[in-house]
């Protein structure tokens, strides 16, 4: 089982480290043809506008859409959550549109407003340390979206089908439980298809 990390920008090596420490084979994805090699994909934190520009520049948008539509699991963290949203607050277009949610960018303020919080993530981990850096918030979700975690009454982690996304950076801690849950989603997918 191989899990790719989109390696255009952002916290790539940190995701690779947690995946590898959790027993998965992890590879950096920089080209569309590499997507065929992986069973799951992480869209890391970083700067969502820059990431989208690079996705377009390297002609990755359609291959990423097809990867998600094939049912292969995708985890998006921070900027990755923004890329997975169907709708962005105050903007005409969403990005990949995998999760039926409305997302507000930089909802917690600027870089200096970064903070850590301890969260319970339903079905994944209790007391998970979450690092928020210019984090987005999920303002609304559709009927098929599971809310996995909230912070001060605001939605910060969601799941819809094979898509998992969070506002925070799990890769900036040594707590690998979110990554382990994602690895499990990737491992179980072929079993689900067999039934």
Q: Which of 15, 95, 169, 179 is catalytic?
A: 169
Radius of gyration of the chain (CA): 15
pLDDT > 90 in the chain, percent: 77
Report the run of H or E that residue 50 belongs to, with start and end.
helix 48-57
Domain borders along the chain are: 2-194
Angle at 40 between CA 154 and CA 79, to 5 degrees: 35
- Average pLDDT of 40-60? 92
Residues 105-135 pLDDT 10s: 766 665 556 889 999 999 999 999 999 988 8
Count of residues making up the chain: 195
Q: Is 166 a catalytic site residue?
A: no
This prediction has a pTM of 0.94
| Whether 169 is catalytic | yes
Query: Which residue of the set 78, 95, 104, 166 is catalytic?
Result: 78
Residue 99: what are its φ and ψ, rounded to 5°?
-115, 130
What CATH number labels 2-194? Answer: 3.40.50.880
47 is catalytic: no
Catalytic position from the list 104, 166, 171, 179: 171
């Amino acid at each position: 089982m191989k899990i790719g990390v989109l390696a255009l920008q952002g916290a790539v090596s940190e995701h690779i480290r947690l995946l590898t420490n959790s027993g998965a084979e992890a590879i950096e994805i920089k080209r569309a043809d590499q997507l065929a090699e992986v069973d799951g994909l992480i869209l890391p934190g970083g700067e969502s506008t820059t990431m989208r520009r690079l996705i377009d520049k390297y002609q990755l948008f359609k291959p990423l859409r097809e990867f998600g539509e094939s049912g292969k699991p995708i985890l998006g963290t921070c900027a990755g959550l923004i890329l997975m949203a169907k709708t962005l607050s105050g903007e005409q277009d969403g990005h990949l549109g995998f999760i039926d949610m409305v997302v507000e960018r930089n909802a917690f303020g600027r870089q200096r407003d970064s903070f850590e919080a301890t969260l319970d993530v339903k079905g994944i981990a209790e007391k998970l340390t979450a690092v928020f850096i210019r984090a987005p918030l999920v303002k609304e979700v559709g009927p098929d979206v599971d809310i996995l975690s909230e912070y001060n009454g605001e939605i910060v982690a969601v799941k819809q089908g094979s898509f998992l996304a969070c506002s925070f950076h799990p890769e900036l801690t040594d707590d690998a439980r979110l990554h382990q849950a994602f690895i499990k989603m990737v491992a179980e997918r072929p079993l689900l298809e067999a039934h």
